[in-house]
Chain A
């Protein structure tokens, strides 16, 4: 990433920029980037905030038991939360959260 490139939301506003794959943009009115308030907070809370505005996106990321779907990956500032603290991974003000389908399936 070139120095100075802004990928997340503007720091200081408590916003987190969530980037969604194309498959989910039909549930956000076509937007692939959604700024979610509430940072700093665990990524699970950020996703809940995303779900408050776009519940159909949340349903596709999180099971009805509150677990991350097995073939969905969430990256916080480039790091896969499966190798951090899962949905408890902290997200700072201005961070970027990226949602991607896993490299799986057939």
Chain B
């Protein structure tokens, strides 16, 4: 299961799968990285865990997870002891207002706010909406500017449902934020969430008669770097883009990738020019092109991309990496999980890779955090 090839640089991997959550920890506690990984789980066995997060602000050390039972619905759970104990199953605090006519299906994203808003947590959910807590997760409210958005009645879900899966903010309380919805596109608020405007100019929608509508794009992921928050990178359902103006306009940056279709995208934690993706062949064949498992990296803001293959299978690798199954951790760690239940790690910015574990249920969420159980 574990590898001994220098992939475990410390911390904890939060692994969400379609059958529960797992925590992977380096056996040597983050030493030289040759002790392999140990796996803890499954937590919430049998439930889908599409969203996990770690909150280390304001003295906390709290894991979050949003298990979804196909039978009994979705709960929001936390643990202050790295999964030894979780808050009770009765966590039903995320509820749509009664007059909305909506009911929560699944949580797709749990995002603690910046250090400047230490008690703010945002959730991206299905049906597409943003929820926010101002008290570190005690109480939640739907962001009405999105809940009552005039476009809502014309939003259409993608294969995964009508989900709000991505949240990027400028980190300022009451500041600017961009969210992404499949398949409604990107929306930005400049007023703390009161109003939202579509920001999809230049992003194509291959599956619509009008390839460049105001909204309706199937955005799969958006990332940015805190040092340059207005520069966004976008992995689309066909299309790879960059915006230098907070999404006012988008430029194609699919320069040298085998396919511009894919889901996962992650920002390097320390370099605002470096982004990782895992291209897939097509929407009709959502597997790695040429049966080679390749992560692609740009180090120049998308002007060029290079394949990262060392340590990854380059034969018979029909893999799929989904939108939240790729993450990074300072200084140069990169992690991803596959639908076939494998998890890989790199400690050198993706140049070489090793297997963390295999045999998991389909991996849908990978989040890396520097801390671990004390």
Contact = CB atoms under 8 A, between A and B. Distances in A.
Interface of A: 23-24, 26-27, 55-56, 59-61, 63-65, 67, 69, 71-72, 101-102, 104-106
Contacts of A63: 73, 103-104
B90 interface: yes
Nearest to B70: A105
Contacts of A27: 89-90
A103 to B, nearest CB: 11
B285 interface: no
A56 B89 contact: yes
Interface in B102-130: 102-104
Nearest to B72: A60
Shortest beta-carbon contacts, A-B, top 8 = A60-B72, A63-B103, A101-B71, A65-B103, A105-B70, A56-B90, A64-B103, A71-B71
25 contacts: A26-B89, A27-B89, A27-B90, A56-B92, A59-B90, A60-B69, A60-B72, A60-B73, A61-B72, A63-B104, A64-B95, A64-B96, A64-B104, A65-B102, A65-B103, A69-B71, A69-B72, A69-B73, A71-B70, A71-B71, A72-B71, A72-B72, A101-B71, A105-B71, A106-B18
Contacts, number: 46
B101 interface: yes
A59 B74 CA distance: 10
A24 B72 contact: yes
A23 B101 contact: no
Q: How large is the interface on B (under 10, 10 to 19, 20 to 34, 35 or more residues)?
A: 10 to 19
A56 B18 CA distance: 23
Nearest to A104: B70
Interface string B177-190: 00000000000000
Contacts of B95: 64
A103 B71 CA distance: 10
A45 B328 CA distance: 50
A17 to B, nearest CB: 21
Given A27-B89, A64-B103, A59 B71 contact: no
Nearest to B19: A106
A23 B72 contact: yes
B344 to A, nearest CB: 25
Contacts of A101: 71-72
Contact of B92 (A59, A65, A105): A59
Contacts of B102: 65
Contacts of A69: 71-73
Interface string B73-103: 1000000000000000110100110100111
B101 A102 contact: no
* Residue of B98, B101, B103 contacting most chain A CB atoms (<10 Å): B103
Contacts of B69: 60
A106 B46 CA distance: 10
B126 to A, nearest CB: 13
Contacts of B89: 26-27, 56
A10 B234 CA distance: 63
B360 to A, nearest CB: 15
* Residue of B18, B71, B95 contacting most chain A CB atoms (<10 Å): B71
Nearest to B97: A64
A61 B72 CA distance: 6
A62 to B, nearest CB: 9
A23 B71 contact: yes
A23 B69 CA distance: 11
A65 B101 CA distance: 6
